[in-house]
Structure 1
Amino acid sequence: MIEQDIGIGIVGLGGMGQLHASNMREEGAEIVAGADLVPEKREQFGLEFDAETYDSHEALVADADVDAVVVTTPNKFHEPISVVALEAGHHVLVEKPLAHTLESAERLARVAEDAEGICMVGFHNRHAASSTMFDAYKADGRFGELTHVEANYVRRRGVPGPGSWFTNPDLAGGGALLDIGVHAIDLALYTLDFPEVIEVSGVARTTFGTDEDYADPDGFGSNWNAEAETYEVDDSVTALIRCAGGQTISLEAGWATNRESSMEFHVRGTEAGAQFEIGDSDLRIIGASTAGCDHYADAELTGDASVTGHYEQDRRFLETIETGVEPTTNTIEEALTVQRVIDAIYRSSEGGRSVSLESEAEPVQRTN
């Protein structure tokens, strides 16, 4: 629990905004304001959190009780809202991805570089129990040198309904890659301690979004009508990411694919490997030994599922504000690296060739 009084303003009062507000209130922060264009959402949020509500982010940022702003809007608005908040001296937690385009992400990073407040980005899966246990064993040398990560975030059928902002390229910037693939890329790079990415090759596909006969047994995308809506984003992506030192990442991300759903990560090391699901609380360590006789030496670990990645991320955001220490996780530099990889995957797909990142600009470094 934090001891300092921190006033939180939430921009975007949908499910994600309410989740952040609930987490931070439980950690001792005060939810003082919320902003959304939809009157019903403002009314509900105001009643739930006893907070002032506004129909614009500018009005929320100007509220004297606001110390930090959480941005949970469609991707296109991450930059303008975060910039206004940072320039007003507020701290910012912006949901993933950093922005809808690389150019927008770079502009935001430049503002954050000189801002008084901190800026963190909402990659919560690295704080789940499976990932934190992996971190601890990695620090003890259990896996040796990490060489490859197989990263999966694949739904069998799970396309957001046509007409939502998720399938609008102007608002989202892309499809499955920017929605869920971004989580897999971040977690894979985080697992490898964010090595320098030197080359990316990828293919982005639009297969199901324009299919009048799209089968959606679980009703993930309600009111499906392929004829009535425009669908110009990717619904699956395959990519290979090559890092300095020979480390590699293979990525499979998809809203819809004719295969079983999977959120599995397979991490290969020279001494042992690991298997876990994104956001889960279990970890399997995969090894072999000659002790006594040649045998496989695997271990099944079960972590504390009561602390979620979302909650731990929000706790760390508040802790960073309270201590005044520069963030060591969920940094804007890491998010900008992820954004560059996403941009390179799209460029590779469009050009039909691999894309080199060795000559790309270095990540923005904070100077304050």
Structure 2
Amino acid sequence: MRSKTVRLGVVGLGFMGQTHATNATELGHEVVAGADIVPETREKFAQSYGATTYEDFASMYDGEDLDAVAVSTPNAFHEDAVVAALERGYDVLCEKPLANDLASAERIAAAASASDGFCMVNFHNRVSTATEVFKEYQRAGHFGDITHVDANYVRRRGIPGVGSWFTEKELSGGGAVVDIGVHAIDFALYLMDYPAVEDVFAVTRTEFGHRDDYVDPGDWYDETDDAVFDVEDSATAMIRCADDRTISLEVTWAANQPDTQAFVARGTEAGAALDLGGEELTMFQSGTQGTDHTLDVTLADGALERTGWAGSDERFLEAVAAGEAPELNTVEQGLTVQRVIDAIYRSAEAGESVALE
């Protein structure tokens, strides 16, 4: 039960900032203020939410009485906004990934550890019907030990607009791995109950981003004359965790294969297939009743009221209102994902397996 209405400030008022603000409003909370460097964006946000807007987050923090902050800037600017909020004791929802590089992510984690507030990372794909059912069965011991996860986030064609911050390494920290791979890495680790990650072998590729004949049926790609594309558009990785548990990872912005967000978790007693953020769960079982047999069971009916971004925002705001840090999407888990991302890039550069730092 919510104990109070949360007074929320938003840093970065683009699509995701507006998404957080809309969800907060629909959940009965108050969007007090927003900060963004673009005047037109500030004006639109103020009109949409009745909020006071600022050019910089520090002025907003100093000028408003806030309970919590949602940070949805480009990755390179997460650290300054998140750390300053945590130093003021605000609870923070930080967009994924935690930062644009490992050193920055570590400084955020240190600030969270020293703060009276908490930091939650917006891995919104965990909040799905299939995932909730999977985790309940897992807690009951149904799968035994999950020893391997096959993790796929593949777009046949889905490179974000070239010239935006997504394709410029200085602002994003990387390409497909940072943008969508971060979700796949987190989700795979979550299905395994976040074991310690020991080493990574990876290959990254840039096969489509520079092509003049790039085919883009979905109109994702919007190249400009001064566009920067200095990141990868795909990656393949093998991630080895404690007790030789493994994750095979395939991530692409563009590839000559069908779109998929399929995950398969293999356990010692049963397995399961589900899509990232999806509603359908199929469990793979076996038995001896009557005769030796295999049995596939698929979830039917039933759905969470709020999933994805709305569900993630709801859980963040409930935790803020209750004054208790959520167990979901912790800053420590966000830091683990950042370490895996860092290892993927180091392995790709070295051409060999690397240990996590």
Normalised TM-score (structure 1): 0.94
What SS is found at the alignment partner of 2:149? strand
* 1:148-187 map, 5 Å: 148-187=148-187
The residue aligned with 1:17 is 17
C-alpha distance in 1, partners of 2:266/2:323? 37
The number of residue pairs the alignment matches comes to 356
Q: Structure 2 residue aligned with 1:278, among 272, 276, 279? A: 276
Q: C-alpha displacement at 1:228, in angstroms? A: 4.7
The residue aligned with 1:317 is 316
* 1:94-113 map, 5 Å: 94-113=94-113
Q: Structure 1 residue aligned with 2:246, among 245, 248, 270? A: 248
The residue aligned with 1:217 is 217
The residue aligned with 1:74 is 74
Matching residue's letter, 2:313: D
The residue aligned with 2:135 is 135
C-alpha distance in 1, partners of 2:51/2:130? 35
Q: Deviations over 1:59-92 (max 9, x none)?
A: 1111332221100010000001111111122111
Matching residue's letter, 1:20: H
Q: Structure 1 residue aligned with 2:264, among 259, 263, 266? A: 266
- Aligned structure 1 segments of 4 or more residues deviating by more than 6 angstroms: none
What SS is found at the alignment partner of 2:325? coil
C-alpha distance in 2, partners of 1:112/1:63? 22
Matching residue's letter, 2:54: Y
Of residues 1-10 and 101-110 in structure 1, the stretch that sits farther from structure 2 once superposed is 1-10
Q: C-alpha displacement at 1:95, in angstroms? A: 0.4
Of residues 211-220 and 149-158 in structure 1, the stretch that sits farther from structure 2 once superposed is 211-220
* 1:202-213 map, 5 Å: 202-213=202-213
Of residues 61-70 and 151-160 in structure 1, the stretch that sits farther from structure 2 once superposed is 61-70
The residue aligned with 2:50 is 50
1:118 aligns with 2:118: yes
Q: C-alpha displacement at 1:323, in angstroms? A: 2.1
The residue aligned with 2:329 is 330
Verify the 8 A CA contact 1:8 1:69 in the aligned structure 2: yes
Q: C-alpha displacement at 1:232, in angstroms? A: 0.8
1:300 aligns with 2:298: yes
> CA distance change for structure 1 residues 305 and 213 in 2, over 3 Å: closer, same or farther?
farther
C-alpha distance in 2, partners of 1:138/1:95? 27
Q: Deviations over 1:320-357 (max 9, x none)?
A: 22222233121110000000000001000000010013
What SS is found at the alignment partner of 2:143? coil
Q: Deviations over 1:191-235 (max 9, x none)?
A: 11110111111011111111111111121113x36x752311010
Matching residue's letter, 1:243: C
What SS is found at the alignment partner of 2:42? helix
Q: Deviations over 1:4-37 (max 9, x none)?
A: 1321001111111111112122222111001112
Identity %: 52
Normalised TM-score (structure 2): 0.96
The residue aligned with 1:353 is 352
Matching residue's letter, 1:233: V
Give ranges in structure 2 of 5+ residues lacking alignment.
Answer: none
Matching residue's letter, 1:111: A
C-alpha distance in 2, partners of 1:263/1:10? 30
Q: C-alpha displacement at 1:309, in angstroms? A: 2.3
C-alpha distance in 2, partners of 1:103/1:293? 56
Q: Deviations over 1:300-337 (max 9, x none)?
A: 11441642122222122122222222331211100000
C-alpha distance in 2, partners of 1:269/1:58? 48
The residue aligned with 1:340 is 339
